[in-house]
Amino acid sequence: MKPPPFEYYRPSSLEGALTLLAEREEAKPLAGGQSLIPAMNFRLAAPAMLVDLNDLGELAGITAAGAGIRIGAMTRHSAVERDRRIAERAPLLWETMPHIAHPQIRNRGTVGGSLAHADPAAELPAVMVAVEATVLLRSTRGERRVPAAEFFTGLFRTALLPGELVTAIEIPPLPPRTGWAFEEFARRHGDYALVGVAVLVTLDGGGRCERARIALLSVGDGPVLATRAMGTLQDSDLDASVIREAAERGARDDIEPPSDIHASEAYRRQLTRVLTRRALTRAVARAREASR
Amino acid sequence: MIVEGSYPLPGSPDVIWDLLMDPDVLAKVMPGTKALSRTAPDRYEGTMGVGIGPITAAEFELTITLTDLQRPASYTMQIDGKGRFGFTRGTANVELASEGVGTVMRYRADLQVGGKIAGLGQRLLDSVSRMLTRQGLDALNRELTARLT
Amino acid sequence: MAATRAARLRHPYRDLGGLRVNGQHTIGVMVNGTRYERSVEPRLLLSDFLRHELGLTGTRVGCEHGVCGACTVLLDDKAVRSCLMFAVQADGRELRTVEALGDSDQLHPLQQAFHETHALQCGFCTPGFLMTLIPFLQEHPDPSEPEIREALSGNLCRCTGYANIVAAVRRYAEKSGTRELRS
Amino acid sequence: MTAGPYFGMRIPRLEDAQLLTGRARFVDDVDLPGLLHVAFLRSDEAHGRLRGIDAGAARARPGVVAVYTALDLGDYWRPGPLLVPPPPIPGLVFHTATQVPLVRDKVRHAGEPLAMVVAESRYLAEDALEDIAVDLEPLPAVTELEAALEPGAPLVHEQFGTNLAAHVHQVKGDYASARSKAHALIARRFHYDRGAAAALENRGVVAQWDVRAEELTIWDTTQAPIPIRNGMAELLGLRESQVRVIAPFIGGGFGPKIMMFYPEEVLVPWAAIRLGRPVKWIEDRRENFYATTQERSQIHDAELAVARDGTIIGVKDRFLHDTGAYDPYGLTVPINTQCTLLGPYVVPHYDSEFTAVFTNKPIVTPVRGAGRQHGVFVMERLLDLAARELEIDRVEIRRRNYIQPDQFPYDHQILFQDFRPLIYDSGDYPAALDKAVELIGYERFVGVEQPRLRREGKHVGVGVVSYIEGTGVGPYEGARVTVEPSGTVRLATGVGTQGQGHFTTFAQVVADVLGVEVGQVRVSTGDTREFNWGTGTFASRGAVVAGSACHAAAVKVREKVLGLAAPLLGVAPNDLVLAGGRVHRRGSPDQGITLGELARKANPLRGAVTPGTEPGLEATAYFGPDRGNAASGVHAMVVEVDPETAAVAIKRYVVVHDCGTVINPMVVEAQVQGGVAHGIGNAFYEQLIFDANGQLQNASFMDYLLPTALDVPTVEMAHVVSPSPLNPLGAKGVGEAGAIPTGAAFAQAVEDALAGTGIEITEMPLSPGRLFELLQAAQGGVG
């Protein structure tokens, strides 16, 4: 299990990286490498050329963006989970972080790498869809801003064009009267989840559902926005029966989950039903708390 | 692994049949296929490269043999792909039945996979096969639409 | 850093700066306080570099796909899987391996706690556990059992069933609490 | 270091410091000048006819030194030996088919080696694998046990005309007529599948041929260095004295590190001699899933005949056993199953018949527990079902059927895997049960806790099961004890070790006999240069058999010490005391001599000695038990099940264990804890999943799930001590015990937690996904 040979570049500036990526079609960016390097060790991936982004300090770091927050693409997971501002401004993301793999992986893995990799079982894509984050992309042609929901286009597929890099992610501020919750079910802590769900619920002044976001992972080609389940909640009083109905709707109509050796399609639907209900219940309680 | 389903297509079974026998079209229907050539009336050979996310080097030598040809109603494909990643092989039955102005294509493939794909790729096999099937059928549909208009 | 800088000058990528390697490349790494310079191929895994280039074989290799944790080392004081990094990426960085802890005559207190609680059997995974725990215990000097277990969940052990490893961490924490009180 | 006596004491291990500091040498740590590296090309196909291999491009690749296929091996190509011949059971059928070094004509399981690349680095060797073109005609694979025995099934080995590998029938009493007297008959089909040993260290071999000395040194991750040395010498046409096998520190074995031979063990030394350069092969994790032996499926159709009061009248069992593509390890695993099923119970009538089956899957050999789990699962489940049907408490039905303490030695009247009759040496099963029931708080749990929690909507359950483990089998082990002039006591054995603490427990035994500090005893194991005779560490026999040999050798040295010191000190031998590293006159510690000094005197450089005198304070002794011991125990666990997600959490785990006299309780308890972890893995996390074509579907640690620190609770433990009369220490083995009854306990506890759903668990392992399916089937949907 030794990786195949490759040409290696470690540019010291974003401009340098983008130029390389623009000039060399076969160039593959290397961020944290926690998914790419195992694939190379198994010789499932054989990129001819790696462009290592780890010297690009300009891509790392967490900054305030208005009332929201901006996370540089090369920010390590462990930096996110330790940042109080994340806890305050993006609590759904903060709650999710410990579920991602293990501490050693989080010390190396990056937020941008996870998004660009777009693994359907990854937590961060679903969370970014739930919080309506914006993904910032750069190439030698300039910068683009893509809503997270549009960024993920399929199985390990994103809106990234050739030569383009994720540079940052912007998470809008949490609206008032909003509750959040993340739930996942994995065989062991840190494994790819069999199903996961990220939820945001915002109440209106009267305590009814003004807006609900439910993003699921591991049940489709990428993060799945459970629009029918969200529709069930819209303008409802969010009592237990509505929550149950929304979870049922999501499990039945919003997903076409795959079957694999760890979970059948039917089991994934069941987990979706249960986890969505539990996440909504917690999120609604938090929203009510925040509305007091 | 069983991949099955049905897909509505414009055009008559005869038109679709001819298209499906065309190596250029066949190559488009099998996503990632490069340079498929007809080496005998019922035999096609070429290479197929499947790239899923970080998995970039999955290149197969592909041989497709057609049997039980019942123009324009049905045929069977023997698929045999081998590469560094292992192998995939099996049979796919294709049925074409006219329905209204168009045709419904029913397919059922029973595929074995072996080697690294089998040992390491189970988490994604179902999703990948669905995606490839969808891509292939969409490609066929586009091809048909282009030729019919 | 001189050698690294020189290397960069030898391999300028046009005027973009940075490092470009096609073939062998000399890297300079600080490991356990000693500076090493070695010529490596870009694909050489950091785990193989430590073990076979530097002879620091305490870092073990159990899976080479980032699951078992036996190869855990500290990169700039953070625990990472050395099988999921290329040696060339450690250029100019600081590493610590199990060899940086105690030696047989003077075990590190955490090693001592492992010894006293019988927290190892075949000992193959043990260096990875130790290197995972060193930064964890700095951040969590008095961890609860659930915290310990979660911190350890990225390291596999097939012999011990983990109970004595958890006990070792508790023992270490309790003793260092005492040590701090004394000092 | 504390002073003795050490026997029975919690002595921290002597080997720890080396391991903790990362300075212990494992096989992959061996580095030699000019070292070459090997990678194997392995078959993707599970079954296929090899038509040709073109390695031309690989040989031409820079950095590649050689590429070998079966044809290059010439006369050296030959199937491995039958490591364990079948026992002499009347009517037994056994078809021998052993593994080959490289495939010559037919591939019989995925991962079988086709070609061997030797290169300047492992990286280059792996590059070259991609250059090799293989022409392999796929054949239909046979994977399912019942289908494999159908007429017309594809044949793994054509020469037998069948996939039947073995058939064994053992009978006690007359089940058929006893059955008619039963109040109830409980009959079920049980599936028990097992997994990989998954030692954290993969296998590895390094070999160096010293041309000048004409000596071959092999570093091997083996649990049995001496048999490997003997076999290799024979294969290579060398004298045994020309071959040195070193099993240095081994990173866990659990069974599969004892085989003879793995293809790589045969090929790496051969290549080293041929190339005149040292050669290393280190298995990687993916290879380990195909190239290292495993344990796998059995299907049992079993019937229990019981009286109204729950007394066992008899058991009938018919089972199929998957032996994989070859059967070099004979019948050890299925015979363990057959014998262990009887457990601690009086079973007057037993009719057990099994068929071992060849399949196109990797080879099956013992993995921690070695088939015992399967038998325990069947028996314990049958008792659970009987208890339910007869409305007898689960604990009570076990108690009613135990062999009583006054019934030993107890003869089950069938043959065990060591060719000896299955006779239990000693035990006190009711005492163990009482302790376990008390520790887990069974009465209170069932009577108070469970109903209360159930009212709160929590699904908790308890499981209590018993088991026997036949351990400490022969044939023999040996040891040599030497007192050096420095006062250090050197102890050498040939047994090999895999992390169980032998360096310490053996030292404890010897230190007490010689009255030295335990730290003064330096143990050498696993190096054939140090000790010439032995078999290996398996079947939980290290402490029992090798430990007894250490004891015997130490006693002999002690006799020498007394014989030499008595005239020197002018006292009778029985007036001497060995203590503190000295021998002295009883009651006068100052009138004595250190053992080191005595050792020097025992090796005089001048002067005359009595004819027949042996120099030095050294002795060698051997121990071979008459038959194996019966260790035993009770496991109890409490689980909580979330019926909506099918998640299971183990809340408590209790083990009461009887391994006879305990040398070092700390080591014993840790062995049990580790075994339980392995058992939990086997119950809920680990399974090697093969498809119908013989393809392994989870060949990595991403998908083959070893339990983590979050999945294994700390076991609460207690001991019962029934010393074994079969060895001077009174010890019984412990290495596998923890892993054996876990599945049975888990099944009972989960079923208990889900009482009312109608779920019945007749298979292991479970997974959340499988438990979900069972729940759905039982109640037509959950949640």
What's the pLDDT at C182?
59
**Radius of gyration of chain B from its Cα atoms, rounded to whole angstroms:** 15
CB contact under 8 A, B114 and D695: yes
Contacts of C154 in chain A (CB under 8 A): 101-105, 190
Could you tell me whether strands D629-642 and D459-471 are parallel, antiparallel, or unpaired per DSSP bridges?
antiparallel
Q: Which amino acid appears at position D31 of this protein? A: D
Check CB contact of D309 with chain B, cutoff 8 Å: no
| Size of chain C, expressed as the number of residues it contains | 183
Contacts of B122 in chain A (CB under 8 A): 260-261
* CA separation for the pair D218, D221 (Å, rounded): 10
Q: Which of B112, B116, B122 sits opposite D703 (nearest CB)?
A: B122
Q: Look up tokens 């035990």; give the residue.
A: D427
Q: What is the b/e burial string over D451-482, where b = at least 16 CB atoms within 10 angstroms of the residue's CB?
A: eebeeeeebbbbbbbbbbbbbbbbebbbbbbb
Residues D228-247 have pLDDT tens digits of 999 999 999 999 999 999 99
Closest residue of chain D to A244, computed from CA coordinates: D783
Residues C37-95 have pLDDT tens digits of 999 999 999 999 999 999 999 999 999 999 999 999 999 999 999 999 999 999 999 99
pLDDT for residue C1 is more than 50? no
Lowest mean pLDDT among C172-176, D122-126, D405-409, D534-538: D534-538
CB contact under 8 A, A258 and B130: yes
Check CB contact of C2 with chain A, cutoff 8 Å: no
CB D439 within 8 A of CB D656: yes
**Radius of gyration of chain C from its Cα atoms, rounded to whole angstroms:** 18
What's the pLDDT at C183?
53
Burial of A66 (0-12, 13-18, 19+ CB in 10 A): exposed
What's the pLDDT at D692?
95
First to last CA, chain D: 59
Closest residue of chain C to A55, computed from CA coordinates: C18
Nearest C-alpha of chain A: how many angstroms from D772? 7
Q: How confident is the model at residue C8 (pLDDT cuts 50, 70, 90)?
A: very low
Average pLDDT over residues D749-757: 97
Closest residue of chain B to A119, computed from CA coordinates: B53
Q: What stretch of H or E contains A268?
A: helix A265-291
pTM of the model: 0.96
Two tokens at D259?
């085989």
CB D650 within 8 A of CB D638: yes
Quickly list H helices, D441-496: 442-444, 450-455
Residues D167-196 have pLDDT tens digits of 999 999 999 999 999 999 999 999 999 999
- Tell me which of C122, C165, C169 to substitute to probe the interface with D (most D C-beta atoms closer than 10 Å): C122
Residue D118 pairs with which residues in a beta bridge? Answer: D38, D66
Mean pLDDT taken over chain D: 95
* CA separation for the pair A26, A21 (Å, rounded): 8
Check CB contact of D728 with chain C, cutoff 8 Å: no
* CA separation for the pair A82, D455 (Å, rounded): 40
Residue C112: which residues within 8 A CB-CB, separation 6 or more?
C102, C172
What's the pLDDT at C181?
59
DSSP, collapsed to helix, strand or coil, labels residue C61 as coil
Average pLDDT over residues D132-146: 97
* CA separation for the pair D10, D229 (Å, rounded): 35
Supply the DSSP string of D710-739, one letter for each residue. TT-PPPEEEE-----TTSTT-B---TTGGG
pLDDT for residue C10 is more than 60? no
Q: How confident is the model at residue D340 (pLDDT cuts 50, 70, 90)?
A: very high
- Tell me which of D42, D121, D126 to substitute to probe the interface with A (most A C-beta atoms closer than 10 Å): D126
Quickly list H helices, A42-102: 77-81, 84-89, 91-96
What distance lies between CA D580 and its chain's CA centroid? 37
Q: What stretch of H or E contains D490?
A: strand D489-493
Q: How far lies D277's CA from each of A129, C25, D236, in Å?
A: 58, 28, 16
pLDDT for residue D291 is more than 80? yes
Q: Which amino acid appears at position A162 of this protein? A: P
CB contact under 8 A, D122 and A2: yes
Contacts of C159 in chain D (CB under 8 A): 252, 499, 670, 674
Percent of chain D with pLDDT over 90: 90
What's the pLDDT at D250?
95
* CA separation for the pair D316, D304 (Å, rounded): 7
Low-confidence ranges of chain A (pLDDT < 50): none
DSSP state, residue D719: E
Q: Which of A4, A13, A38 sits opposite C65 (nearest CB)?
A: A38
Check CB contact of B131 with chain A, cutoff 8 Å: yes
* CA separation for the pair D750, D648 (Å, rounded): 8
Nearest by Cα to D651 from D707, D715, D739, D706: D715
Q: How confident is the model at residue C180 (pLDDT cuts 50, 70, 90)?
A: low
Q: How confident is the model at residue B30 (pLDDT cuts 50, 70, 90)?
A: confident
- Tell me which of B80, B84, B112 to substitute to probe the interface with D (most D C-beta atoms closer than 10 Å): B112
pLDDT for residue D735 is more than 90? no
Check CB contact of D134 with chain B, cutoff 8 Å: no
Contacts of A47 in chain B (CB under 8 A): 56
Nearest C-alpha of chain A: how many angstroms from C99? 19
Contacts of B84 in chain A (CB under 8 A): 43
Q: Which of B54, B127, B128 sits opposite A35 (nearest CB)?
A: B54
Average pLDDT over residues B12-21: 92
User: In degrees to the nearest 10, what's the CA dihedral of C6, C9, C10, C12?
Assistant: 150
* CA separation for the pair D276, D216 (Å, rounded): 11
Quickly list H helices, D91-166: 122-129, 145-148
**What backbone torsions phi and psi does residue A116 show, to the nearest 5 degrees?**
-65, -30
Residues C100-129 have pLDDT tens digits of 999 989 999 999 999 999 999 999 999 999
* CA separation for the pair A269, C141 (Å, rounded): 42
* CA separation for the pair D392, D184 (Å, rounded): 13
Two tokens at A49?
């050329």
Nearest C-alpha of chain A: how many angstroms from B34? 18
Instruction: Please say whether the dihedral angle defined by the alpha carbons of residues D728, D732, D734 and D736, taken in this order, is positive or negative.
Output: positive
Residues D355-367 have pLDDT tens digits of 999 999 999 999 9
Q: How confident is the model at residue C17 (pLDDT cuts 50, 70, 90)?
A: low
Nearest by Cα to D716 from A114, C161, A37, A218: C161
Closest residue of chain B to D694, computed from CA coordinates: B114
* CA separation for the pair B114, B125 (Å, rounded): 12
Counting as contact any 3 or more CB pairs under 8 A, the partners of C are A, D
* CA separation for the pair A147, A149 (Å, rounded): 5
* CA separation for the pair B7, D735 (Å, rounded): 59
* CA separation for the pair D222, D204 (Å, rounded): 9
Residue D217 pairs with which residues in a beta bridge? Answer: D208, D244
Residues D23-51 have pLDDT tens digits of 999 999 999 999 999 999 999 999 999 99
Average pLDDT over residues D542-551: 90
First to last CA, chain C: 37
* CA separation for the pair D528, A220 (Å, rounded): 57
Could you tell me whether strands D164-172 and D349-358 are parallel, antiparallel, or unpaired per DSSP bridges?
antiparallel
Check CB contact of D777 with chain A, cutoff 8 Å: no
Count of other CB atoms within 10 angstroms of residue D404 = 12
Check CB contact of C82 with chain D, cutoff 8 Å: no
CB A65 within 8 A of CB A22: no
Interface of B with A in 32-91 (CB under 8 A): 52-58, 84-85
What's the pLDDT at D733?
86
What's the pLDDT at D87?
92
Residues D387-439 have pLDDT tens digits of 999 999 999 999 999 999 999 999 999 988 888 899 999 999 999 999 999 99
Lowest mean pLDDT among D83-87, D439-443, D447-451: D83-87
pLDDT, greater one: B17 or C181: B17
Q: What is the b/e burial string over B98-116, where b = at least 16 CB atoms within 10 angstroms of the residue's CB?
A: eeeebbebebebebbbbbb
CB contact under 8 A, B53 and A259: no
Two tokens at B72?
């324009």
* CA separation for the pair D581, D584 (Å, rounded): 10
Burial of D203 (0-12, 13-18, 19+ CB in 10 A): buried
Two tokens at A152?
């993920």
What's the pLDDT at D227?
93
Instruction: Please say whether the dihedral angle defined by the alpha carbons of residues D743, D749, D751 and D757, taken in this order, is positive or negative.
Output: negative
CB D632 within 8 A of CB D659: no
Residues B97-113 have pLDDT tens digits of 999 889 999 999 999 99
Closest residue of chain B to D111, computed from CA coordinates: B115
* CA separation for the pair D747, D760 (Å, rounded): 9
